[in-house]
Chains A and B, each alone.
Chain A
């Protein structure tokens, strides 16, 4: 049963990873500690720390503006790549993609 779930999660991650241009995927828990990542450790930790704060800030902004509202998806587009974050109650999923590849 557990292994099934693990396999499902892995499968989902593989599907995202296989998309063209995806550079890395990170799953972090609510505190910002990375659970799973396809990047190396130092990058993972850096991304997790910085993006966790960003998501908290964004979420509080959205909720301040309208308490009934909530953040569903966050896309940060930069010169070189795009970082996409899907927040949840307990976890965050971060995907870094380079669209021009």
Chain B
């Protein structure tokens, strides 16, 4: 701060006032003392001489910080006297003289607060005031200072200099431009006090009703975000990419491995180690327990199931009744006729075929031959779905005594007629009819309820009649009624010499027939190998036949028609006498497709071998013998039941006769007369291949093939003739016998062997044929035909169809019988030996009496033999004793 020496008291103050910026400009004249500047302060100038004199030199003795200096009054007075008018203190002479105190305060006013560099405090009070509270608050000092400034009167107003702002002010100010107008509004006088109607007026109706300030977007105020906070994050570079695995096809991978094995040496080592021995012995004890446990009780035995069997066996004994399921008879075709043969359709369930024959003796036939010609005999097909009408009729040239379905192709049927001919039918065209006739029939009946009678006639006409497609040649066939016809199974066929060879076609192509003309014939349904000259013949025949085919006969076997010759003729010469046996029924050993219906599993096995599709029999040829491989395991032996009641066991192989060089059949190995009349049944058991049932006359017999001594079971003679017999398909030890009086006897070998376990009467006429069949596990049927031409279908009840005996137990029974038979024969032999021995001895010695041994068990034959031996013995004795037989004729039974 520059200490500016003011030129004038007033101007100097203004500069100082600027610094302070407060209050009006202070003036220095002591007359215009600011209210806050006390009167008792007198600013004065002190010369340097004075300063030296009073030791208040500026900035040396008195500084700003220490501005106070007390001066003695006497000194001042002295100074004043000394220098009189020159003394600085002159102006204040009077004051000093009047000063009551001794010392006067001199304040160094460095800042020129009061205009001079020093000021003298004139009163004691001021001196006190200044000295004492010099360190009072600062506020006091500026207040004092501002006070000082405020107290000063403002400077005289200077004239206002216009800078142009009054124009603006004038513009902005609101002034009345004119006088304010006054209006007085009042209503018409008459309406004062009158009721007023107020109406509403919508303010929105007209734009004048209201004034609005619509909002608008003021552009001035459109905010543009110039700044925005956003966060950033540093990441790695992202890149998306995709891959697709290449779809490879699955490939088979194989691993082949070989199991590790020890060498012999190593095995030896192991076996001989002590370790193993210890282990074996310790392990063995554990095993002993386990194995014995298993032995004690069979853990696999299902008690629960076994429980049910025992229960029903007790309770349902009475329920062995064969319930009649259905019966078929046709008024037109089968009335007053007899059914000679029944066969179930092998594949279609519920279809059964019967052959209907006339009940006439030979003479009657001759007499009534014309009538016979008009009504050709038929084979009728019945279906379970239609009990009234047969499904199909097959026309036969003559009464068919036996027929059979071809196992590989059930549409081919072969039959044997009374005139010795073999007949073939092909029902392929009507196979559909047999299959799916069930729904069709019922629909048509319901559609026409009114015209029932007329419809029946139509339907009758609709039953298709099928003619036979081929018959055998009359000269070369049988000379007697063909009584039995069977197909050979498809796994082998017979060559010309009778050797069974492999069947390459795997279908049934050969048939075996027999007739009481003493021969068994083998027929082949394929065309024989054509010889040169006969080919022309055949062609001719073929042409002829092709022209005439009026009745729609299928020409499957055209080549055989009327020219069919048997492949082999097997004669049955008698063993001990000349002549031949006249076979009625036969049974082959390897006839696997006997009466038992094939299960699904068997069928599937068969069809894989068979060629698919219809076999063209015409194209098949009998192969030459050299091409075929002979089968060793097929037995060529078969059993034949004859007209005389014999059972003949023979082979069909043809041997060469040395004498004539022709092929002749050998003599049968065994022959037994068991039955009193003709044998009508020779049947093998479906469970045991070597057990044969023969029925004939008044009894039946069960044979075992390997036992050639006799029947293992022979039934007692019954009252009525036994007409037919058949084995049960589900029960090993059971079979059915049909009687002359219409009874069916159920024989259960394990239950009773001396009488049937159940007898039931089916009809009043004699039973002619019986065939069992299994449709499902719950439905076991027995088809029985009688002499009236009625076919009865009986349902076998659970007690009879359930295998109460297992195969093993029945087998054991048969074995027991065999052993009994053996024993018997042995006894017979020993008996015979003994007998010869005794006779020899007697003749030698003639003295000894031999007592023939008593036998514990005797059959009739045995007792007869015994009796005879006794008689001879008696004769001898009597002769010995010299008594002739004629004189003494006393039969003594005692031996």
Interface residues of chain A, those whose CB is within 8 Å of chain B, are: 2-3, 5-6, 8-9, 12-13, 15-16, 19-22, 27, 29, 31-36, 45, 48-49, 72-73, 75, 77, 79, 82, 84, 86, 88, 90-91, 93, 95, 97, 99-100
Contacts and interface: CB of A to CB of B under 8 A. Distances in A.
B291 interface: yes
Contacts of B287: 16, 84, 86, 93, 95
B279 interface: yes
14 contacts: A6-B271, A8-B281, A9-B277, A12-B281, A19-B291, A21-B294, A22-B291, A29-B270, A33-B260, A75-B290, A90-B279, A95-B291, A99-B295, A99-B298
B245 interface: no
Given A2-B272, A35-B262, A35-B270, A20 B295 contact: yes
Contacts of B277: 5, 8-9
A9 B275 CA distance: 10
B294 A97 contact: yes
Nearest to B271: A6
Contacts of A88: 279, 282-283
Interface residues of B, number: 30
A40 B271 CA distance: 18
A-B interface, 6 closest residue pairs, ranked by CB to CB distance from nearest: A99-B294, A86-B283, A2-B272, A45-B259, A93-B283, A12-B280
A15 B284 contact: yes
* Majority SS at the chain B contact face: helix
Contacts of B262: 29, 33-35
B790 to A, nearest CB: 48
Contacts of A9: 271, 276-277, 280
B300 interface: yes
B299 A99 contact: yes
B210 interface: no
Contacts of A6: 268, 271-272
Nearest to A80: B300
Interface of B: 259-262, 267-268, 270-277, 279-284, 286-287, 290-291, 294-295, 298-301
A88 to B, nearest CB: 5
Contacts of B284: 12, 15-16
A86 B286 contact: yes
Contacts of B271: 5-6, 9, 35-36
B298 to A, nearest CB: 5
Nearest to B258: A45
B505 to A, nearest CB: 37
Candidate in B268, B275, B291 with the most chain A CB atoms within 10 angstroms: B291
Given A33-B261, A100-B300, A91 B291 contact: no
A27 B276 contact: yes
Contacts of A32: 260
Contacts of B261: 33-34, 45
Nearest to A1: B272
A12 B283 CA distance: 10
Contacts of A77: 299
Given A6-B271, A36-B267, A79-B300, A72 B276 contact: no
A36 B284 CA distance: 15
A45 B275 CA distance: 22
